[in-house]
Amino acid sequence: DGGITQSPKYLFRKEGQNVTLSCEQNLNHDAMYWYRQDPGQGLRLIYYSQIVNDFQKGDIAEGYSVSREKKESFPLTVTSAQKNPTAFYLCASSMWDRSDTQYFGPGTRLTVL
């Protein structure tokens, strides 16, 4: 089955700890994205990556870091510098061609206690 997987579905961490969210895709997509969604809100872009070993900051990158060592993987680290990390995190990917569309994973709900 082709698709995007995110793990875990629910994650709890203590304040001050870094945490890494996993995102894997087997769609052979070039680009990958991380979004944050707060209750009742839309999606805000954290980071995105067009190709391996390259990524750009989105609108709310402060307190987050990413890496793109492999085409199929784009992990997101929520650092202790992120002031309000509790949120729903969504990973997505897309192909860069005429029929570009962006597909989402199932999301990870992070709760910082």
Measured distance CA(46)–CA(38) in Å, rounded: 13
58 binds another protein (CB under 8 A): yes
Identify which range of 12-20, 33-41, 63-71, 72-80 contacts another protein by CB under 8 A: 33-41
Nearer to another protein, 11 or 43 (CB): 43
H/E stretch holding 76 reads strand 76-78
CB of 15 to another protein, least distance (A): 23
71 binds another protein (CB under 8 A): no
State whether the Cα torsion 49-98-90-39 is positive or negative.
positive
Residue listed under structure tokens 């307190």: 63
Measured distance CA(25)–CA(77) in Å, rounded: 18
Residues forming contacts to another protein in the complex (CB under 8 A) are 4, 6, 31, 33, 35, 41-45, 48, 50, 58-60, 88, 90, 92, 94, 96, 98-107, 109
